[in-house]
Amino acid sequence: MIRLAAITTALMLGAAATAQTAPPSEVMKLYDIAEAPSADRIYADIEKLVSFGTRHTASETESDTRGIGAARRWIFAEFEKISDECGGCLEVIYVGDTVSGETRIPDPVEVVSVLAIQRGKRDPNRMVMMSGDIDSRVTDAMNATSDSPGANDNASGMAGTIEAARILSKYEFDGTIIYAGLAGEEQGLFGGKIVAQHALDEGWQIKAVLNNDMISNISGIDGVTDNTVARVFSEGTRAVETPEEARARRFTGGEVDSPSRNLARYIDRMADQYLTNLDVMMIYRLDRFGRGGHHRPFNAVGIPGVRIMETHEHYDRQHQDLRTEEGREYGDTLDGVDAGYAAKLTALNMVTLAGIAGAPPFPANVKAEGAVQPSAKLTWEHGGDKKAMKNLAGYRVYWRETTAPQWTNSRFVGNVTVWDFTNIVIDNYYFGVSAVAKDGSETPVVFPGAAGAF
C-alpha cells in the first residue's frame, strides 16, 4: 500500500504541471479495418501464386505463366489495379539488383522485389512497411525447376500484404505505408538486403517492418491445431553497436529493450484492443532457432523489424519435395492453408500499419535521468516539422517494473517535452514515451537513449 500511495502521489504532483484532456484511447476506424480482410480474396491470391508452379529465385523469368518472373509481374499488376481503384494512390516500383557468387546463388541472378508505396499526406518520409515473400523452394535449395507451390511459405504472407493494400488504400494517413513483395528470401534474404539498402540510399525513415512469413497454417507437427495465437519475433539489443549506443544501453536499461521489441509490444496491444479471438505470443528472439526471415536485413542496418507468423508449424509442409512416403504427405500445398487464420493475421498487420501511419512523428532524442535522486525525469523533443506535427495531441509516458514484459503503466501528459516521475526511483523501473494523435492514433513507445531511439 505504501508503494501504491507513492506512485499515486507522484502522478498527482506530475499532473499539476499540465492539465490536459487525453484524446480517445481507441481509434474507431481501426475496428472497421480489423473486420475488413476477406479470407476468400486471400485464398484466391494464394491459389494464384501457387499456380505459377515454382517461384524459386533462379526459376523461369520469361514465361507469363510459370516461374518467379511471372509471379512478380502479377504482383506488380495487382498493386497497379489497386492503385487505379484509389485514384493512383500507390506508387508501384521494382527494386532489384544482380546477385552472384553466393552459396545459393553462384551464377548471376536478378533478384527483384515489388513495392507499392502509399504516401502520407503530412509526413511522407516517415514510413511503415508490411512485407511478404515472393519466392518458394523444395528440399534442394538449388532446385529451380521442380514444382514448389509455396502455399503457406510464403504465398500466404504475400497474399496478406496484397489484401492489406486493397483495404488501407481506401484511407489516408499522415505517414507512408509500403506494401512489399520481397524476393530471394530462400536463397539468403537478398531481397530484404537490397530493399533495406535502397531505403538507406533514398533517406527513407522506416519506423517499422512487419515481416509476414507463413501466416496460414494452424495445424502443427506438434499435434496442436490452434487458430487463436500468432507469434511475433523481435530481437533485443544489437550485438554490434557504437560506443555511444553501448553506453546508453548500460545507463538506461537497454540491455532488455530495443525498438523492435517495443514494436512487438505495440502489436500485442493492438491485438488486445482491436481484434477478437487472437492473442500475440511475443518471442524474445530475432527468429526461430537456426533460421532466418526477411526482417533480419532491416534490423541489421538499424531499421526496427519483427516477424509475424503462425504459432504451430508443420515441417512436412516447409521446403519439401512433393511426395508421399509411408502414407505421410510432404509439400507446401493449398490443403495446408487456413484462409480465415491468414485473414486474422492480416488484420493484425493492418491495425498496426494504420495505427503507426496515423500517428504523429515519433518523439526524438528521448532521455532519462535521475541517478541517486528520489525521482526520475524523462525528456524528449518533437520529432517533426510544423506540418507533420499538426496532428499531435500530446505525449503519453510509460513505465514498468524491470521484470515486466509489457508496459504496465502510462499517463497522457499533454503537449510537453519533459515529465517528472516524482517519488519514482529510476533504478526500479523502465521508462518510455509515445506521441499521440488527436484521434488517438499512437506511436510505439520510444525507449530512452541511442539503443532505444527510433
The per-residue pLDDT for range 377-422, each reduced to its tens digit, is 999 999 999 999 999 999 999 999 999 999 999 999 999 999 999 9
The pLDDT assigned to 253 comes to: 52
Q: What is the mean pLDDT of the chain?
A: 92
Report CA-CA distances (Å) from 205 to 79, 233, 356, 364: 22, 22, 13, 13
Q: What is the CATH number of domain 2-27+361-452?
A: 2.60.40.10
Tell me the three state secondary structure of residue 209.
strand
252 pLDDT more than 60:
no
pLDDT-based confidence at residue 8 (cuts at 50, 70, 90): very low
82 pLDDT more than 90:
yes
17 pLDDT more than 60:
no
Give domain limits for the chain.
Answer: 2-27+361-452, 36-357
For domain 36-357, the CATH superfamily is: Zn peptidases (3.40.630.10)
The per-residue pLDDT for range 295-341, each reduced to its tens digit, is 999 999 999 999 999 999 999 999 999 999 999 999 999 999 999 99
Tell me the three state secondary structure of residue 113.
strand
CB 453 within 8 A of CB 365: yes
The pLDDT assigned to 3 comes to: 44
255 pLDDT more than 80:
no
On whether the pTM is more than 0.95, the answer is: no
Rounded distance, CA 426 to CA 245, Å? 19
Report CA-CA distances (Å) from 192 to 27, 112, 195: 32, 10, 5
**Among positive and negative, which fits the CA dihedral 129, 134, 140, 142?**
negative
In the chain, what percentage of residues exceed pLDDT 90? 88
Question: Mean pLDDT across the stretch 78-101?
Answer: 98
The pLDDT assigned to 449 comes to: 82
Rounded distance, CA 103 to CA 190, Å? 12
10 pLDDT more than 60:
no
16 pLDDT more than 70:
no
Question: Mean pLDDT across the stretch 152-171?
Answer: 98
Q: Which residues pair with 180 in a beta bridge?
A: 115, 131
pLDDT-based confidence at residue 7 (cuts at 50, 70, 90): very low
Question: Mean pLDDT across the stretch 61-71?
Answer: 98
The pLDDT assigned to 86 comes to: 98
4 pLDDT more than 70:
no
454 pLDDT more than 80:
no
User: How many Cβ atoms are within 10 Å of 82's Cβ, its own excluded?
Assistant: 23
pLDDT-based confidence at residue 25 (cuts at 50, 70, 90): confident
